[in-house]
Structure 1
C-alpha cells in the first residue's frame, strides 16, 4: 500500500536537500544510501534485484531502482515531483559495461545487415550519453536481444511478486553515465525550486 504521507515527507526533505547538498551528495543519498522504495518492501526489492542480476549475470549492486518507485516522486525532466501512484511503473537502472557492450555489438551487427530502423537516430543520441534505452532498440521481431529483454521484464511483471506495477529497465555503460543523467535531473529540480523561492541564480551555470 502506498503511503502518501511518506511521499509528501520525502518531497519536502528532497527540496531541502536541493538547497543544502551538492548534486553528487543527493545521488548518494537517494540511490546508494539504504533508502527504502515506496512501492514495495525492502525485502521484495532485494528479491527483485536478485532476480534481475542473476538473469543477466551481474552483481546485485549493479541494479538500482530509480524514479518515483524509489523516491516516491519523479525527478524526470518535465515531470518533476509527480508522485508515485497505482498506475506508475517500477523503473530499474542496470549499470554494466559488459552487458552494455553485448547489446551495442548486437545493434552494430543488426545495423550492418538491415541498415535502418525507425528509432535509430534517437537510439544514437542516448548511446552517446552512455545509455541504452530498450524501447529504442531495433524491433523485437527482427532483433532477438530486444525480444529476450522484453520477455524477461514482461514475465517479472506478470509474476505479481512485485505488486501490480509494470517493471521496466534501462542500461547504462558505467556509473559515470548513470550519475551524469541523475545529476542533470537534480540540477533541473534545483532550478525549479530556486525560481519558486525567488532566487535569480541559474544553478545550471554554477
Structure 2
C-alpha cells in the first residue's frame, strides 16, 4: 500500500474502517519489505504470544513498521503530518512498535507499576504524565517513570528482538481492544482533518 492510497482511504473510509483495514488486518511493512526472509510475521507473533502468554491475535505491529511510514504528527507542529518513511531518518533505524492487547498482561504490569511507585521516589509531575496514558488503557515504557522497568517477560521480548533485528523494539500494552481501537481511530480522525484542511 502506498502513502497516497492510505491518504485516500483516510478521506473515503471511516476511522474504524481505516484502523481495521490497515493497522489490524494488513500484513506489516517490516515483514513484507525489510526483514529477510519475507513472511516471518506469523512466527514472530507466535513466539511473542508464548513468551507473554497472550493470544496471537492480540499482537499487532503498529507505527511505521506496520504501514511503511509514520502516522505521528510532526514534532514541531502537532497538526502537521510528515508521514516519515520507515528507516527514513538520517543515521537512525526506525523502532519496531508492537501493541499487545491483553487485560491480564496489563493488570500484571499495573501491579508492577504500583509496587514501583510505592517504593521509588516518583515526582508528582511524572505521575501526572503516565497517569494520563493509564486512564487511556495504555502502558508504554516511554510514558512511564524513567527508572521503571516492565516485568522480566516483557523485557525479554524487547531484548530478544532488539538483538535479532538490530533496532529498538517498543511494546505498548493495552487493557482491551476498545482502548487500542479508540486510540488509533482518534489519530486517523486527526489525519483526516489535516488532509481535508
Q: Check whether TM > 0.5.
A: yes
Contact 2:141 2:149 in 1 (8 A): no
Question: In the alignment, which residue of structure 2 is the partner of 1:73?
Answer: 69
Q: Choose the corresponding residue for 2:13, options 21, 26, 30.
A: 21
Which of 150, 154, 159 is 2:159 aligned to?
154
Structure 2 length as normaliser, TM-score?
0.82
Shift of residue 106 of structure 1?
1.8
Compute the TM-score of the two structures, normalised by the length of structure 1: 0.78
Give 5+ residue unaligned stretches, structure 1: 1-8, 196-206
Give the equivalent residue in structure 2 for 1:171.
173
Structure of higher CA gyration radius = 1
CA–CA distance in structure 2, aligned partners of residues 137 and 15 of structure 1:
32
Change (3 A) 1:136 1:193: closer
The match for 1:63 is 59
For residue 50 of structure 2, what is the aligned residue in structure 1?
Answer: 54
Following the alignment from structure 1 to structure 2, what is the Cα–Cα distance between the partners of residues 26 and 106?
Answer: 34
Could you tell me whether the CA contact under 8 Å between 2:29 and 2:66 is conserved in 1? yes
TM-align CA RMSD: 2.2
Aligned match of 1:6: none
Partners of 1:152 and 1:170 in 2: how far apart? Answer: 12
> How far 1:157 moved relative to its partner?
1.6
Report the count of equivalent residues.
181
Instruction: Select which of 183, 187, 191 maps to 1:189.
Output: 191
Q: CA 1:144–1:83 in structure 2 vs 1: closer, same or farther (change >3 Å)?
A: closer
Where in structure 2 are there 5+ consecutive unaligned residues? 33-37, 75-80
Indicate the residue corresponding to 1:30 in structure 2: 22
SS of the residue aligned with 2:61?
strand
